[in-house]
Each structure stands twice: as C-alpha cells, then as structure tokens.
C-alpha cells in the first residue's frame, strides 16, 4: 500500500517538474497527463484531488510567478515579452490578469511592488507543491567541510519578512551597479532569527555578496564584513529553495544531537548557487552551513 502510494506521488511529482521545466511549451491536458502515464479522462480530477487546484490554474500561477519575478528583479525583458512568455496573446490581457491577482498593473509592480498581495496570491501554488514536496534528509547528505573565510559586502534586512522582497530588489540593483555578478561573486544569506518570528518585526537576516574589492555603497547602506572560516556541517538542497527552514530544522533537531558536534558562535547561513527564474524552481540549488566548533 505504502509503495503504491509513493509510486503514485512520484508520477505526480514528475508532472510538477515537467510543468516547471516547460512553462513556455505545450502544457495542455493531453501532454501533461502523458508525462505521468495517466488517462487524460481522469487526470484532471486526479490532479485537483491531489493538489487542491486544477492543472490549468497551477500552470497559470507558475507562469505568473515567473513573470512577477522577471518584473520585480530583472530589467532585461519588456512587459510585452514577459506577457507573451506567461502565455498571454496580448499585453492588455496579461495586465488585466495581473491587476486582478496583485492589485497592480505590471508596469506599476515593476517600479514598486506591493508584496503582501503577491505573497497571498501564490499561497495556493505553494500549498500545492508542499503536498508532495515535504523534503526529507538523511545523515549521509550532511558533510563536514573546512570552509575558508569569505569577505563580504552586507545589506541588512530588519523587520517583517513580508517586506524582504523590497530589500532583495535593492540588493540586486546595488550589486549590479557594483559589478558583482552572481556568476563570479558568491551570494550568501545569514539568518539571525527564525523564518516567521513572533512578532514579525524581530526578523533579521543579512544579504551578502563575496568580494575582496573596496565597497562602493552607491547610496545604499552597505557594510563590509566576513563570513568566518572554520568547520561547518553542510547540507545541499535542490529545488524550491525559497524556504530552507525544513533543512535547518533537520540539522538542528536530527543531525546535530546525533552527531556529537557542537555549534560555533556564528549564525546558520546559506550560499545560493542558482536562482529562479534563471533556472526552473525545482532546479535551484542552495547549500546550508551550520558552523561547528
């Protein structure tokens, strides 16, 4: 019974991975049902029963999430091109759908996103993915690594995590102006609090980019710092790396007590090795570092 259920879920997982990998392609019911070798006559109901939303709705939300990321975090594409990539034949239709979902036009969102409606709009997408994507980790996936010290430029985020998107936008704009591209200058997040602290105003994290160069602030509050060298437990996470809390909980709750190790006096942090929407969400990679004595 358990094996049959796991096999069924694996087939459904293939469908989600296929959708995320082929957002620009043919995602009609016939195609998507064939990926998991399910009958097209029943697949729509199977998908909705499993994930709580229809195939069409899932595809719409996945395409809209990619479009919103491109609007908020990049300037390489026009609104028209982003609309076409999201599956709309005309910018007007895209603008209507975007405004209905987020309360802003695409051009207004590009200039100054309102993040609370954005977070709420993708709740159903996150819930659908979490149905099957409860990541489980094993001790074999944790390695102990001697990490060299890394000098970094730091932009601090302090306050409600719902406003983190605005800090990320400023961070991306600053590092572009400073010529610190992710392909050559590593990206780190350092966490000083839980992902959803109570109250939210106590949320603290640092956005960091590795650099040995003198730091030009370019009007931002940027400070120099260092991620110290030393032994770290390292856990590599592949796919849907927006939320690394399950990986952090595994390290603290399961791996650390059984390892006999003790933590060092520096917060848990991650290095982001690939980014959505440059790669599909299920192919994003991050490494989580737990500093050890």
All structural domains of the chain with their residue ranges? 2-130, 139-291
Q: Give the pLDDT of residue 133.
A: 62
pLDDT beyond 90 at 213: no
Looking at the DSSP assignment, which residues form a beta bridge with residue 208? 154, 188
Instruction: Determine the Cα–Cα distance for residues 47 and 53; give it in Å rounded to an integer.
Output: 7
Q: Can you give the pLDDT at residue 174?
A: 93
Both tokens assigned to 82: 């982003």
Q: How far apart are CA 187 and CA 230, in angstroms?
A: 18
Interval 116-170: pLDDT, tens: 899 899 999 988 888 776 678 999 999 999 999 999 999 999 999 989 999 999 9
Among 171, 245, 166, residue whose Cα is nearest residue 207? 171
CB 228, CB 190: distance < 8 Å: no
Entry pTM: 0.88
Mean pLDDT for 186-207 is: 92
Radius of gyration, CA atoms only, the chain: 21
pLDDT value, residue 145: 97
CA distance 168 to 172: 6
Matching CATH number, 2-130, of 1.10.10.60, 3.30.413.10, 1.10.275.10, 3.50.50.60: 1.10.10.60
Band (pLDDT 50/70/90 cuts) for residue 5 is confident
- The pLDDT, as a whole number, for residue 113 is 93
Q: How many residues appear in the chain?
A: 293
Q: Euclidean distance between the first and final Cα of the chain, in Å?
A: 45
Q: How far apart are CA 123 and CA 289, in angstroms?
A: 28
Average pLDDT value for the chain: 92
Separation between Cα atoms, residue 236 and residue 179, nearest integer Å? 27
Q: Which two tokens stand for residue 145?
A: 């690594």
- What's the rounded mean pLDDT across residues 197-207? 92
One-letter-per-residue 3-state SS of 203-242:
CEEEEEEECCCCCCCCCCCCEEEEECCEEEEEEEEECCCC
Query: In this predicted model, what pLDDT tens digit does every residue of 237-292 receive, in sequence order?
Result: 998 898 899 999 999 999 999 999 999 999 999 999 999 999 999 899 999 999 99
Residue 151 burial (CB count, 10 A): 14
Per-residue pLDDT at 219 exceeds 90: no
CB neighbours of 280 closer than 8 A, spacing ≥ 6?
17, 20, 21, 23
In degrees and rounded to multiples of 5, residue 16 shows phi and psi of: -65, -40
Nearest partner of 76 among 185, 172, 178, 216, judged by Cα? 172
Kindly state the tokens that stand for 103: 């309360």
Name the class of domain 139-291: alpha beta
Confidence (pLDDT) at 136: 84
Q: Distance between CA atoms of 247 and 252, rounded to whole angstroms?
A: 9
Predicted confidence (pLDDT) per residue in 62-77, tens digit: 999 999 999 999 888 8
pLDDT-derived band at 57 (thresholds 50, 70, 90) equals very high
Cα 5 from Cα 170, distance rounded (Å): 45
**Per-residue pLDDT tens for 77-113?**
899 999 998 989 889 999 999 999 999 999 999 999 9
pLDDT of residue 225: 95
Is the alpha carbon torsion for 176, 178, 179, 185 positive or negative?
A: negative
Integer angstrom CA distances of residue 219 from 46, 150, 175, 185, 207: 53, 24, 12, 20, 16
Between CA 136 and CA 246 the distance in angstroms is 8
């Amino acid at each position: 019974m358990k094996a049959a259920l796991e096999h069924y879920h694996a087939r459904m997982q293939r469908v989600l991975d296929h959708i995320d990998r082929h957002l620009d392609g043919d995602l009609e019911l016939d195609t998507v049902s064939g990926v998991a070798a399910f009958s097209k006559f029943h697949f729509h109901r199977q998908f909705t029963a499993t994930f709580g939303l229809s195939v069409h709705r899932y595809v719409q939300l996945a395409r809209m999430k990619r479009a919103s990321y491109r609007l908020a975090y990049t300037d390489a594409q026009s609104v028209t091109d982003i609309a076409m990539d999201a599956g709309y034949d005309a910018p007007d239709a895209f603008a209507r759908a975007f405004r209905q979902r987020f309360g802003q036009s695409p051009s207004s969102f590009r200039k100054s996103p309102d993040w609370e409606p954005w977070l709420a709009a993708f709740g159903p997408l996150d819930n659908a993915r979490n149905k099957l994507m409860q990541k489980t980790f094993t001790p074999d996936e944790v390695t102990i690594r001697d990490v060299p010290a890394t000098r970094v430029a730091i932009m601090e985020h302090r306050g409600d995590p719902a406003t983190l998107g605005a800090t990320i936008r400023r961070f991306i704009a600053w590092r572009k102006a400073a010529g610190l591209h992710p392909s050559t200058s590593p990206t780190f997040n350092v966490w000083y609090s839980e992902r959803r602290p109570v109250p939210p105003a106590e949320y603290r994290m640092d956005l960091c980019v590795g650099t040995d160069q003198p730091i030009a602030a370019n009007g931002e509050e940027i400070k120099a710092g260092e991620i110290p060298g030393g032994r770290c437990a390292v856990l590599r996470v592949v796919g849907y790396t927006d939320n690394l809390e399950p990986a952090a909980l595994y390290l603290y709750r399961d791996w650390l007590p059984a390892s006999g190790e003790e933590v060092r006096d520096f917060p848990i942090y991650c290095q982001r090795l690939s980014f959505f929407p440059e790669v599909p969400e299920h192919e994003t990679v991050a490494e989580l570092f737990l500093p050890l004595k």
